[in-house]
Copies of this chain bind each other. A is one copy, B any other.
Amino acid sequence: MVMSKACVNAVRAMVYLAAAPDNERRGHVSIRAVAEELGLSFHFLTKTLQRLTADGLLKSERGPRGGVALARPAGEISLLEIVGSIDGNDLQDQCILGLRGCGQEAPCPMHDEWVRERKRIQEIFKRSTLQRLARAVREGSVRLKDS
């Protein structure tokens, strides 16, 4: 897996929020609703989204009509940031063979090629903003659910 399950859930939830029409609730959607809509475990998703809230990607409100909402415009939140918040930056800066201190001076056999690849992945994640992903969802050309 390139992302942990928690991270995948986070991404799906964030795209869902970005694609959700601004309804009542001042833009907030309850985590329970998100979980049901995407077929995810409410409790597990809650834990994950709490981290996103702590990291400033989501804002939250308690109480009735509360819920979570994007803390910033969808165009300014990228997949890279979500992955970083949940899984950390290992994918971006760790040696594929797990060698500590793998770098230009003391590289592993895959170093050069993997550094290039990592950069590509980082670029992809960076330009994958919630705005871009959510647009496809709203257009119906793409799905977020399993079935």
Which A residues have a C-beta under 8 Å from some C-beta of B? Answer: 1-3, 5, 8, 11-12, 15, 79, 90-91, 94, 96-100, 106-111, 113-114, 117, 120-121, 124, 128, 133-134, 136-137, 141-146
Judge whether A90 and B137 touch: CB under 8 Å: no
Bound state CA distance, A90 and B91, in angstroms?
A: 17
Interface centre among A79, A110, A117, by most chain B C-beta atoms within 10 angstroms, is: A110
Judge whether A137 and B121 touch: CB under 8 Å: no
Listed by A's residue number, 7 A-B pairs whose Cβ atoms lie within 8 Å are A5-B98, A8-B98, A79-B110, A107-B141, A108-B144, A109-B128, A117-B124
Judge whether A110 and B133 touch: CB under 8 Å: yes
